[in-house]
Amino acid sequence: MSVARFTSQLLRSPTQRKHLFRWLGSLRENYLLNHRTPWLVFDAIDFMKSVSLEGKRVFEYGSGGSTLFWLKRGAECVSVEHDEQWYGVMRDYLKDATRIDYRLVRPEAALDPGSADPADPGSYVSDDRAFSGQSFKDYVCQIDEFPDLSFDVVLIDGRARPSCIKHSVPKVKVGGAIILDNAERTYYLAKAKDRLANFERREFFGAGPISQFFTRTEIYERLR
């Protein structure tokens, strides 16, 4: 979709037109990093800004503007990245940062790549053809190094997201949250939704930085 067409879509939306100038501003080069902004739906970003993160512990699958956002707001962060080139870019942005445990974890060869189902939380694979035949098990399992109930926030915005949900649920504190981005991709929850039975869902659908389409960010708050 062109900038003009998406601008028209925003203007027609009663709930999203308020984000028009914010979205246009996000088209600037390196916006997310320079503004230390997560790549989530704008309304979800605003919700997270309303929550105090000072002294909180965050684990994230997928690094970027979100990493800088957590640190700016006083949180401690463990961030797992699979892309070596992007990891190098982020290292420059994080060179003076404290309260960050930043990990590069590359995918490995899958044991049985032909039968893996990306919707299966036990598969550890991505539906992206660029990663065909590769497993993200080591990447996903980084969170297993930490005790249960360790984190106030877990952001799932990387690879093998159903598997990330499986491993993240026991690590979230009561009152904490799992943030699942691009939740309109139904396969993320097709076989993992039952694991979130003790969580309350908040849905944010609409515009976000850079993207020229509406998407959905879901925040699951742990009740017990």
CATH number of residue 202's parent domain: 3.40.50.150
Q: Which residues contact 149 (CB under 8 A, 6 or more apart)?
A: 170, 171, 172, 173, 174
**Is 49 inside a domain boundary?**
yes
**Whole-number pLDDT of residue 33:** 98
**Whole-number pLDDT of residue 113:** 60
The C-alpha angle with vertex 153 and arms to 147 and 155, in degrees rounded to 5, equals: 105
CA distances 208 to 6, 14, 183, 198, 212, Å, are: 12, 15, 13, 28, 8
Cα–Cα distance for residue pair 197/189, rounded to 1 Å: 12
Q: pTM for the whole thing?
A: 0.96
**Is 169 inside a domain boundary?**
yes
Six-digit token string for 2? 């062109």
Extract the residue ranges of the chain whose pLDDT is less than 70.
Answer: 112-114
**Is 157 inside a domain boundary?**
yes
Q: What three-state secondary structure class fits 10?
A: helix
**Whole-number pLDDT of residue 211:** 96
The strand pair at 76-81 and 57-61 is best described as parallel
Instruction: Give the structural domain span for 73.
Output: 3-105+146-222
**Is 89 inside a domain boundary?**
yes
The C-alpha angle with vertex 179 and arms to 175 and 144, in degrees rounded to 5, equals: 80
Q: Which helix (H) or strand (E) holds 11?
A: helix 3-12
**Is 122 inside a domain boundary?**
no
The domain tally of the chain equals 1
Write phi, then psi, for 182 (nearest 5 degrees).
55, 45
**Is 129 inside a domain boundary?**
no
